[in-house]
Structure formats: C-alpha cells, structure tokens
C-alpha cells in the first residue's frame, strides 16, 4: 500500500483539465498500481471520493466509495467505483443544495447546487464500458469528483460564501439543519 500526497487548493494541478486515458495505458501495470494507490489514499483520508489530479496526476480517473463514512455520517453507502474518462449528463433540471467538503480544501465546507439525477458514461478500471443512472447525494458525489477532472473545485460553485464553514463550526451550527433537510431528500431520491 502506497499513500499518495494530496494536493491542496492553490496547486496548479487542481486547476488544469486532466487528459483522457487510452485503453493500453489504462491496462498498464503503472496505471493499475496507481488506481490501487488512489483507492488506498482515499480510504486512509476518509474521503468519499478522490480524483487523480488531487494526487498530482492529471489523468481522467477518479475513485468513489462511501462505507459508513465518519466525515459524512448521513451519506448513503456507495460501493467502490472507479470511473475512467467519465461523462456526466444531467437527467432533468432539478437541483439540490449540498454541503460539500474536499480533501484538497482542508477544513472547509460550503453549500453548492448539484443536479439530482445523472446519466453516467465511463470505463471501469479494466476498460469495460459503464452506463448507469445515479441519483441524490450519490449524484452530488459524482459531480464533485468529475469537476476535479475539469480543473474545478467545489469552492467555484459556492454561490453564497456566507455558507463556508470549518468542520468544527459545521458540526456546531449547520449539521443539524442540514441533516434534517437531507434525510427526507435521501429518502425521496434513494441515493
């Protein structure tokens, strides 16, 4: 197991568009080992997801997994998912307000708008096609990770900077109201 160094906001690697990964490259031992390390790093940091540029590798690969996450105890679990060259298309125009945080933006959360439902097209780590719909908070997590591949961080989407909060102040002042709002949302959207 190798833990990779996580880039923090301000590092240029987080601000460039990551490049597509070819099939031969994807199946190479180097990239397969990199994916293992990306997953280990995500789990070690208790992330709900981690995109390759966040560990200084600007290629279009991200990992997503939620398993009783202590950073986000209200999040529905998501099985380990590796997305390669993902494309997200919103289904419908409905959005929700999500309180997001990011391993590349330490100790900060803020409210962003995310689409409630998406069509996801990507490759898995073996290069087989993925085509699926994701909904609810899970759709928010997908949008957050794919934003990283386009050089965006959640801060770019925070419309009201007055919602920005440290983790301690989130727990103290915002968590209860957010959980009260998001629990029925999760029940409605099932994700």
Using CB under 5 A as the criterion, which residues of the chain lie in contact with Zn ion when the complex forms? 102
Smallest separation (angstroms) from Zn ion to the CB of 34? 18
Q: What is the full DSSP assignment across 116-183?
A: SEEEEEEE-TTS-EEEEEEEHHHHHHHHHHHHHHTT--GGGGBS-GGG-B-HHHIIIIIHHHHHHHHH
Identity of the residue, 102 or 149, whose beta carbon is nearer to Zn ion in the bound complex: 102
Smallest separation (angstroms) from Zn ion to the CB of 43? 15
Size of the chain, expressed as the number of residues it contains = 191
Identity of the residue, 126 or 156, whose beta carbon is nearer to Zn ion in the bound complex: 156
Identity of the residue, 7 or 26, whose beta carbon is nearer to Zn ion in the bound complex: 7
Residue of 100, 126, 145, 169 marked active site: 145
**Residue 117 appears among annotated catalytic residues:** no
Smallest separation (angstroms) from Zn ion to the CB of 104? 5
Identity of the residue, 127 or 167, whose beta carbon is nearer to Zn ion in the bound complex: 167
User: Pairing between strand 95-102 and 105-115?
Assistant: antiparallel
The residue number whose beta carbon is nearest to Zn ion equals: 102
Q: Could you give the 3-state DSSP secondary structure of residue 4?
A: coil
d(CA 113, CA 159): 8
Smallest separation (angstroms) from Zn ion to the CB of 126? 25
What burial class does residue 127 get, using C-beta atoms within 10 Å of its C-beta: 0-12 exposed, 13-18 middle, 19+ buried? middle
Active site residues: 145
């Amino acid at each position: 197991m190798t833990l990779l160094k996580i880039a923090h906001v301000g590092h240029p690697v987080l601000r460039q568009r990551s490049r597509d990964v070819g099939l031969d490259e994807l199946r190479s031992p180097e990239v397969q080992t990199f994916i293992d390390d990306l997953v280990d790093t995500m789990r070690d940091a208790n992330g709900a997801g981690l995109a390759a540029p966040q560990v200084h590798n600007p290629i279009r690969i991200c990992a997503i997994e939620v398993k009783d996450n202590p950073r986000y105890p209200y999040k529905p679990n998501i099985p380990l998912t590796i997305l390669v060259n993902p494309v997200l298309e919103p289904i419908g125009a409905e959005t929700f307000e999500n309180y997001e945080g990011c391993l590349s933006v330490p100790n900060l959360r803020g409210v962003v708008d995310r689409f409630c439902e998406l069509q996801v097209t990507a490759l898995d780590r073996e290069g087989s096609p993925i085509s699926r719909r994701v909904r609810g908070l899970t759709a928010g997590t997908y949008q957050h990770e794919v934003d990283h591949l386009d050089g965006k961080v959640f801060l770019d989407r925070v419309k009201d900077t007055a919602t920005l909060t440290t983790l301690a102040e989130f727990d103290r002042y915002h968590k209860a109201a957010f959980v009260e709002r998001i629990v029925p949302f999760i029940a409605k959207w099932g994700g």
